[in-house]
Amino acid sequence: MSRADFTSHPTAPADAASVPAFSPQAWILPLEQPIQEAAQGPLAGLSFAVKDNIDVGGLPTTAACPAFAYTPQASATVVRRLLDAGASLHGKTNLDQFACGLSGTRSPHGAVPNALNPLYVSGGSSSGSAYVVATGQVDFALGTDTAGSGRVPAGLNNIVGLKPSRGLISTSGVLPAAQSVDAVSIFARTVPMAWQVLLCALGHDGADPYSRTLELDARPLPPGFRFGVPAPLEFFGNEEASAAFDAAVGRLRAMGGTPVAIDYQPLEQAADLLYGSALVAERYAAIRSFFDAQSQAVIEPVRSIIDAGRQYRGADVFEARTRLQALAQQAAPMWQEIDVLLVPTTPGHCTIAAMQADPVRLNRQLGHYTNFVNLLDYAALSVPSTLDSEGLPHGITLIGPCGSDWRLAELGTRYHAGTGLGLGATSQTPPARASLPLPPSAEPRIKVAVVGAHLSGMPLNSQLTERGGRLLHAARTAPSYRLFALPESRPPKPGLLRVAPDTGARIEVEIWDMPVSQYGSFVALIPAPLGIGTLELEGGQQVQGFLCEAQALTAASDISAWGGWRAYTNSLKTTAA
């Protein structure tokens, strides 16, 4: 069988057992001591890594360019949320420099090998993140996806790549590639694991200009769902990849689906705009000051790609965006004909040697079925599908409109369970089919104001997070409350007492929400003399929140002057020091 340009070099045995568990090219900074900030939570006991264009407080962010490195004081919002959910961070991973590429070979730290056959590319730009998941070094990893970087490495390494709807996960603290279309992506060995991580990571963030609150579609696909298949299909001569996709179409048919041919031309034309129009100027804008001063520190072909963004004027960008909107309008009617779009994650594999000899053309071929997704505001999920005659994996990608993330994950879970494939390059067997929790927007939720030991980072915060609680924002009460430090409480807790209007103080609280179905079990954990009542916030809004019985405060210290429990406890640490 011909593999054309994708496999113009000899192969090596694809025995997963022969693949080293550790590849120095996959890590930029492995941590001897993992970072763990919460002992409990929905992700407790799980390990993860992050692509090195995502900030971790106190660790350098390099984007695989040592001259660019900086050390942030704070972690990216998504990293903080995962740590708060109980996961432990094990390090930062290699990438195509400045997240510019889909091959995993564009790094001064070396090319990251494919987890199943080290002669082949791992895919990029999130190459290291995919490798450490595929080889079982961590349970999940974060990547970023602008043109396919959260899907291509998944497809090439026999793992799951979840590319959520744009704005669902905050990109605050993530070095942009093309900020208006970037998305943080999740690599895992199963769809349920990736979905669990997404539920802990999502949420609006005012620090991200492109963050948004999305109502996710929680309707299951109909039994006779229709799935789109691109016409024409292109595999660049790779007959193994073509056969693998035919098998995928057959599997979806067996699951009750009906294939529908869709015109791929508007999607392909949209994809071409990412690098072939003034839209590439956004990549230059992301690192403009550094690039203008030190462009020679950027490796080829990344330097030439970013440099191309300098030539465009503002009017050119508006013309390109208008062209993109026109193509989006042209593509939109396909969603009236199909429930989900099915594409190959990649049109085949490529050896590292071949990619290094012809980096631009072969990189473009790897992105043939990925580049349009973020530009057109779609959600996507890459799922393992089959191994070919040489043991190389081929994945499929399920694509849907913005907000279809749960529907894709539900179908992807069923599809993956039916493949019988092992997980990544490990000896783990595929799990039985699992049901996925509904997205937060599909279940009624209730707001609750917390004032003490349940605040984020405090000892009892896990009672919220393990029940699907989400931090909405900080707030203050109306000036009708006094705050007391309860004596002999373990862990230490405050009591909030309502007093006559304007005789109290404005007390800092956090507003969380949780599924109504979990609220009863949360309230049951609250010990006397504490309880839940109605709190009035600054501005007049009323929410459920913690209050204390007055008779329990006779021996308690009034700490209202500190304005909140966090400020008070910090003062105790300062005094002790």
Q: What is the DSSP string of 15-74?
A: -GGGS-S--TTTEEEEEEEEEE--SSSTTTT-EEEEETTB--TTS-B-TT-GGG-B--SS
51 is catalytic: yes
242 is catalytic: no
Tell me whether strands 481-485 and 494-498 are parallel, antiparallel or unpaired: antiparallel
Q: What is the pLDDT of residue 449?
A: 96
pLDDT in tens, the chain (577 residues): 233 344 433 333 334 444 456 788 999 999 999 999 988 889 999 999 999 999 999 999 999 999 999 999 999 999 999 999 999 999 999 999 999 999 999 999 999 999 999 999 999 999 999 999 999 999 999 999 999 999 999 999 999 999 999 999 999 999 999 999 999 999 999 999 999 999 999 999 999 999 998 989 988 899 899 999 999 999 999 999 999 999 999 999 999 999 999 999 999 999 999 999 999 999 999 999 999 999 999 999 999 999 999 999 999 999 999 999 999 999 999 999 999 999 999 999 999 999 999 999 999 999 999 999 999 999 999 999 999 999 999 999 999 999 999 999 999 999 999 999 999 999 888 777 677 888 877 778 899 999 999 999 899 998 998 887 888 888 999 999 999 999 989 999 999 999 998 899 999 999 998 888 889 999 999 999 999 999 999 989 999 999 999 999 999 999 999 999 999 999 988 766 6
- The single residue of 103, 149, 165, 172 carrying the catalytic annotation is 149
pTM of the model as a whole: 0.78
Q: What is the pLDDT of residue 6?
A: 45
Q: Which CATH superfamily is domain 4-417 in?
A: Amidase signature (AS) domain (3.90.1300.10)
Say how far apart CA 68 and CA 46 lie, in whole Å. 31
- The single residue of 23, 47, 51, 170 carrying the catalytic annotation is 51
Please compute Rg for the chain using Cα positions.
Answer: 25
- Specify whether the CB–CB gap between 214 and 165 falls below 8 A: yes
Q: What is the pLDDT of residue 130?
A: 98
Q: What is the pLDDT of residue 11?
A: 31
> Tokens standing for 568?
């008070």
- The single residue of 23, 47, 125, 170 carrying the catalytic annotation is 125
* Angle, CA of 165, 224 and 219, to the nearest 5°: 40
125 is catalytic: yes
In CATH, the number for domain 443-576 is 3.10.490.10
Q: What is the pLDDT of residue 224?
A: 93
Q: What is the pLDDT of residue 34?
A: 97
Each domain of the chain, given as residue ranges in start order, spans 4-417, 443-576
- Specify whether the CB–CB gap between 107 and 126 falls below 8 A: no
Q: What is the pLDDT of residue 278?
A: 97
- Specify whether the CB–CB gap between 477 and 507 falls below 8 A: yes
The structure tokens 């006094």 sit at 482
DSSP state of 332: G
